[in-house]
Amino acid sequence: MSETRHASLGISDEKVLEMYRWMLLARRVDERMWLLNRAGKIPFVISCQGQEAAQVGAALALDKDIDYLLPYYRDLGLVMPFGMTAKDLMLSAFAKAEDPNSGGRQMPGHFGKKASRIVTGSSPVTTQVPHAVGFALAAKMEKKQLVSFVTLGEGSSNQGDFHEGLNFAGVHKLPVITMVQNNKYAISVPQEKQLGCVNVSDRAQGYGMPGFTIDGNDPLAVYQTVKEARERALNGEGPTLIETVGYRLTPHSSDDDDMTYREKQEVEEARKKDGLLTFGAYLRETGVLSEELENQMEEEIKQIVNEATDYAEHAKDPEPESALLHVYAD
């Protein structure tokens, strides 16, 4: 039997199964949140569906014990392998006192968990880019062998913070990896009305760093590209801009009607390329994923999601007075 693609990249069968499991868990958590929202139990969902392959591929190429993560609001598939649990995410969705992200203060998708080096994001998009560059600057000044990894959508790549952050990183050769998850839409604005260039990665040349555009539905390609970018950063070769091209399979959020700006047929066509489907098919074809193993995975994940939902739904609400905490110094 000829060597599998993942084996030729030096990735074990165990690692690709781990990738698939994280992708599946992120999808099932996300799907449950939509059901809870439609049942009137949680107020808001902003989805990862269609982007899990890029997120998980990147997460597993990093070192979760030392690297810093500055995610954006769709990054379930990135924050979970880094240490955010299904329970943590459900506590955030239900806005409970125990929510490790913000104690129920922030909307879902504002990830933050200090113990896992997941740096809290703020509501204006792209503010995480200069912050990631700051972490990379600190690492360089303190001579620490780590990288900061920051993500955003292609819409956010048109903000000033993106330019300032990448320009500074390029000038000072900082160990920061910027991954733009191009899902084709900035809320309702299609890519062709956002960018004057063909690819987001074309901008890398202006910042003096390598830029790559890769298939966001292919976790192996993302894993390899991020792994190489990390190696360059640790060798003192500076930052990298990566663009993963995928598709947002859901409306922008639970408050959006995407049929006002795109056709149903376009979404259905994109579903055929969904990384969860195509990667699952690849693992079955190569004999790595059996029907029995997949069923077992689904059962385990269903139990995790059910337990997380039940726990969060019945957890304590925050005390109203707690809204005044962490505003002024005591």
Going by C-alpha positions, the residue among 212, 218, 214, 141 that lies closest to residue 177 is 212
SS3 track for 256-276: CCHHHCCCHHHHHHHHCCCHH
The single residue of 163, 261, 262, 311 carrying the catalytic annotation is 261
Instruction: Confirm if 67 and 117 have CB atoms less than 8 A apart.
Output: yes
d(CA 44, CA 93): 7
Which residue is associated with the tokens 């006192």?
Answer: 97
d(CA 175, CA 147): 5
The single residue of 27, 110, 252, 282 carrying the catalytic annotation is 252
Q: Can 248 be counted among the known catalytic residues?
A: yes
The single residue of 32, 230, 248, 282 carrying the catalytic annotation is 248
Q: Can 32 be counted among the known catalytic residues?
A: no
Going by C-alpha positions, the residue among 68, 97, 102 that lies closest to residue 83 is 68
212 DSSP assignment: E
Q: Is 206 helix (H, G, I), strand (E, B) or coil?
A: helix
Q: Can 261 be counted among the known catalytic residues?
A: yes
Residues noted as catalytic = 248, 252, 261
